[in-house]
Amino acid sequence: MLDVVIITVRKRKRKKEKLLFELRSPRNEDFLMANSARTIVTVSKSTCRLLRLPPSSASINLHTPFFLSYPPPPNPNTRNGIPISRFCSPFNTSFHGPTFSSSTRTPSMSINLQSHAFARNPIRSKTPKPGHPLFPDSSFESLKTKLLTKTPLISSPDFKILPFKKGWPLVSCNGGKGNGDSASGWGLGWISLADCKSLLALRGSQLTEDLFVYLGSSVEDDAVYWAIDFSGEDDLDEELGRKQLSFIELRTLMVATNWSDSWAMGQLAVAGHGRALLDWHRTSRFCGHCGERTVPMEAGKRRECSNQSCKLRIFPRVDPVVIMLVIDQENDRALLSRQSRYVPRKWSCLAGFMEPGESLEEAVIRETLEETGIEVGEVVYHSSQPWPVGRSTMPCQLMVGFFAYAKSLDIRVDKAELEDAQWHKREDVKRALTLSEYEKTQRTAAAKVEQMCKGAETRHSGDFNAEDSGLASMLFPGPYAIAHQLISSWAYQDNGK
């Protein structure tokens, strides 16, 4: 292991020093201090926000593992390095190679700060302020002008359209940029406004502004991105197929995306955002108050009842779901469950929808008790993930992940909810994670996507499962799912991974 000096950051205020955080090496600290080893660590603004440090500290350029103590003095109100207070994130953080782990002797949980699938949408996070030409309202006015004007407007931004069909985005196998060798091999099938007009003209349909939903914009490319639903246009597949474009199920794209390909992960997030919005528009055509039709407003960001005496405003729906890994600390086990629809040997975490009037933690406790008869005490937040590939009647679920610590151990499975639930030893879980060939599964799915775009294979809407050598006693959801992140975080906590 490469030795690194302790680096302490302090803040001076009125001749007093406040210790903010320390970076410690595991050994030979005195030797390095005596030899005045140079400082190689600087902290970026985003890392300052993550660590809740003042923005004066400048970028982390780490090439070896460090140990982070924040704040340095040990907290007596912890258990196994995890604060007793609920809903705080007491985990190690690792990102882009360097590993930050707790300086406490007892290992704690870890989070991979690389984004979950469907999160960190690259065009949604850069929406300009009101008044900017690329702001949703301004872009929508430009869109209406373009639709009414036959001659192109030179000064207007470039409009890029992403068609969907029954929730499946248009995909091109020639559109993948990716990150070098990690490229996923696919990209979203953006078409121009002129192409969109031509495609609908083939079916005798007219393109109107109320069909478009604003997805985001890019100031650098002077482009605005829109989604449109082609679900009723059944005769367009052949025309799109000539351009090696195909509508592909979002779950297939999710599995086909290389986790290390940040560009493709961003494309997946855009596709998830578009599907969630279009599905919400599809299920919100009528007012829940008076029953009249609703109309899209603000470039598809909301809908409004057409009844002038009602005018109910409706906003996109998000359905929160708690997903939890229940842990038996005393016996070093985790509780995993099976549903009847799972393939043989597949196990996952418990999960359930929130009910009105309860907190997230209460939902974890209730769902665990109802489905398995296990009582849990402490509930600790891990991370969250948008999930636009759930039930068709729920446009977008938000998976909120927790670790829950068991107070009882006797399992009583609710057969109406689960097929089975069992305690699994950490070593068995680690072995299954090691033997499951997730990379091979991703490459297989990416090859299927390429063949579908080229028309050499029919559409595939089935669920992919991790390929394995046959030696693993169980399978888990792939790295694209928050269930996998919960399981792997617990399985490798003793290694600080």
pLDDT of residue 227: 96
Convert the pLDDT of each residue in 198-236 to its tens digit: 888 877 778 888 899 999 998 888 899 999 999 877 778
In a domain, 302, yes or no: no
pLDDT of residue 19: 47
pLDDT of residue 70: 32
On whether the CB atoms of residues 84 and 378 are closer than 8 A, the answer is yes
Last residue of a domain, one of 50, 80, 112: 112
83 with 165, same domain: the answer is: no
180 with 108, same domain: the answer is: no
pLDDT of residue 259: 85
101 with 165, same domain: the answer is: no
152 with 108, same domain: the answer is: no
Last residue of a domain, one of 63, 78, 112: 112
343 with 476, same domain: the answer is: yes
On whether the CB atoms of residues 348 and 337 are closer than 8 A, the answer is yes
| Number of structural domains found in the chain | 3
In a domain, 223, yes or no: yes
In a domain, 127, yes or no: no
327 with 450, same domain: the answer is: yes
ω into 71 cis (within 30 of 0): yes
pLDDT of residue 75: 42
pLDDT of residue 238: 81
**Can you give the C-alpha Rg of the chain in angstroms?**
25
Residues of the chain with pLDDT under 50: 1-113, 461, 495-497
211 with 250, same domain: the answer is: yes
Q: What is the CATH classification number for the domain harbouring 368? A: 3.90.79.10
pLDDT of residue 146: 83
pLDDT of residue 463: 55
157 with 79, same domain: the answer is: no
In a domain, 294, yes or no: no
Tokens of 26: 């595991």
41 with 160, same domain: the answer is: no
Residue with tokens 């009414």: 148
In a domain, 49, yes or no: yes
pLDDT of residue 72: 34
For 437-461, the three-class secondary structure string (H helix, E strand, C coil) is: EHHHHHHHHHHHHHHHHCCCCCCCC
In angstroms, rounded to a whole number, what is the distance separating the alpha carbons of residues 271 and 262?
A: 14
Last residue of a domain, one of 256, 283, 310: 283
Residue with tokens 């007009």: 197
Convert the pLDDT of each residue in 54-83 to its tens digit: 444 333 333 333 333 333 344 444 444 433
- The CA-based angle 178-486-397, given to 5 degrees, is 75
In a domain, 123, yes or no: no
In angstroms, rounded to a whole number, what is the distance separating the alpha carbons of residues 290 and 9?
A: 61
pLDDT of residue 188: 94
207 with 140, same domain: the answer is: yes
192 with 158, same domain: the answer is: yes
Domain residue limits at 245: 136-283
N- to C-terminal Cα separation, the chain:
16
463 with 359, same domain: the answer is: yes
